[in-house]
A and B are shown apart, each in its own frame.
Chain A
Amino acid sequence: MSTPSAFPTTFIASGRQGPAARAATRSIQAATLILLLAAGIGPLYWMVKGAVSPPAQTVAHPLAVWPGQARFANFSTAFHELGIGHYLLNTLIVVSGSWAVQLFVSVTAGFALSVLRPRFGKVVYAMILATMFVPYTVNLVSLFLTIIDVPIIHVDLADTYWALWLPAGASAFTVLLAKQFFDSLPRELFDAAHVDGCSTRHLLTKIVLPMSRPVLAVISLLAVTHSWKEFVWPLVALTDPNKQPISVALSQLSGQAPQDQLIAAMVMAAAPPIVVFAVFQRQIVAGLGFTGVKG
């Protein structure tokens, strides 16, 4: 029998392989690592190299590993003259608003459906889950018609950030995550709090939320990465070039800006999510595993 270890047993089973089999396993693992390095780091390295190399050199020696004479001026040119700083700020506004709305809607809905359980709550939950099968890229056209004339209140949200923030809240998957997590909390606690006269609002803010950090982190990361990557919807909803986030602005710049400056701009657009990923790697990976097992 295998000795208990931190690693789950895989199809290699006991691990009592012959030397040939072990060598084969090792070389497959090494080859995979080389492949992953090439696919993961390679394009990023080439992008940074392209950003600091003179365009003529990039064209003449596309395979040169080191830039001839590195020029970092492209970054500041792109930041100021192409307006990348401005577009990054727009993205930040879009991301933080979408995150706030999505977190608020998911937490309140999850709390109501899991803890308070009003009558017909299950019907509402089923209707929320049903929207997962009609992804909103498919609804692009009618969502656009909705935001230019919102039903009941009849306001035009086009070219305002509300057009991005509010629809971001309609995320069935994060509602599901919140509800499932709250379902796993001990209900005795809620009943005791109720008996002690704790108000419903305090039940959420003082008891449920402090115990829910893991799921709040997963929802936040999903919300932030999703709205940072968003392209189609901002393209449709924000036509004012001054308001566009970096994802849309880059696509507009790609036809006009000099190539080395454009690539410097791309580096700056990619850097923040990569840094966030590097810092929160563990949580993101755990979150995905969590969603995968649950989903």
Chain B
Amino acid sequence: MSLLTQNRPPTASRRRPLAGLVARRRGLETRRQIAGWLFLLPALVIFGLFAWWPIVRGFALAFQRTNLVDPAQWVGFDNFRAVLDDPLAATAVKNTAIYVGLALAIGFPAPLILASVMSTVRRGAGLYRFLVYLPVVIPPTVAILLWKWFYDPGSGLFNSLLGEVGLGPYPWLDSPHTALASLVLEATWAGMGGAVLIYLAAMAGIPGELYEAAEMDGSGVWRRIWHVMLPQLRPVIGLLLLVQLISTIQVFTEPYLFTGGGPQNATMTVLLLIFRYAFQNGEYGQAAALTTLMVLTLAVLSAVYLRATRSWSRT
């Protein structure tokens, strides 16, 4: 038996085979160890080759220069210096930060509000859920090409609709001032459904007595939302916030397909620049250096999240 199993509380003992034969148990135990590692083998191979190794390789690559043919050379911090000296990298970081900020401002409260309304729906709740999740199942390439057509300044759906009520025409993707916001709008539409369903599930798990007690204490609907529902949802809100941050920082498909980074680099994001370094300029080392900086940012964010949730659970 491993140390771990021996330290388990007594209730765990029912897990052991009923037979009291020590020798037989030892034989079973060895077989279980071997079988355990055999069944872990596929995961070890797949994660080893396609998750753990690339992480290590990427970190090393950040300090190397390679053209994929000759052996790689170690170049110290040259790649980092090249990235930090690249004005485009500063633009990409700035754009990504604005994108993440906008995506939070629009995409964070919207699913929470939608889920709150949907949680009160009795008849037709399934229809609401179907509709809210429908955009999520549309492949991103299709969704983006569709919205690109809607955004068309001349004959696009959006300007035509807004024109009917005397607004616009707006340049949408064609202006450096509105391009990023246009990407966020589509991404919010495309990604919101998952968050809504997770909030709905969490809301259904809140004990109804809490609301009833608050009601008897004379608190109105808004106070029940603010003082009962939101505090109960805090762990889920925190988790979804982190997930959203991590996924929006990696935004790639939207700028790649909508604008290719333009106009005037207004939608050049960090991942798009990494892609350009590696697959257009062949600067794999620089791409890896920028990736490393990005992973560090993600790690810091996750650490902040862990600290924050720990202090929440204490209060």
Contacts and interface: CB of A to CB of B under 8 A. Distances in A.
The B contact surface, by secondary structure, is helix
B42 A135 contact: no
Contacts of A200: 31-32, 35, 39
B141 A251 contact: yes
B134 A40 contact: yes
B252 A32 contact: no
Given A13-B212, A285-B129, A46 B37 contact: no
Contacts of A20: none
Contacts of B23: none
A270 interface: yes
Contacts of B314: none
A116 B32 contact: yes
B294 A138 contact: yes
A187 interface: yes
Contact of A40 (B14, B117, B131): B131
A119 B296 CA distance: 31
Given A9-B208, A36-B128, A146 B54 contact: yes
Contacts of A212: none
Contacts of B253: 231-232
A274 B137 contact: yes
Nearest to B202: A292
A118 interface: yes
A228 interface: yes
Nearest to A7: B122
B146 A195 contact: no
B130 A281 contact: yes
Interface string A121-154: 1101001100101111111111111111011000
A108 B170 CA distance: 54
A228 B298 contact: no
Q: Which 10 A-B pairs have the closest CB atoms?
A: A9-B208, A118-B36, A289-B201, A292-B198, A142-B58, A109-B43, A116-B36, A112-B39, A40-B131, A36-B131
19 contacts: A10-B119, A10-B208, A13-B208, A28-B117, A33-B127, A41-B131, A108-B42, A112-B36, A113-B40, A118-B37, A124-B43, A127-B47, A133-B299, A134-B298, A141-B274, A142-B54, A262-B145, A288-B198, A292-B199
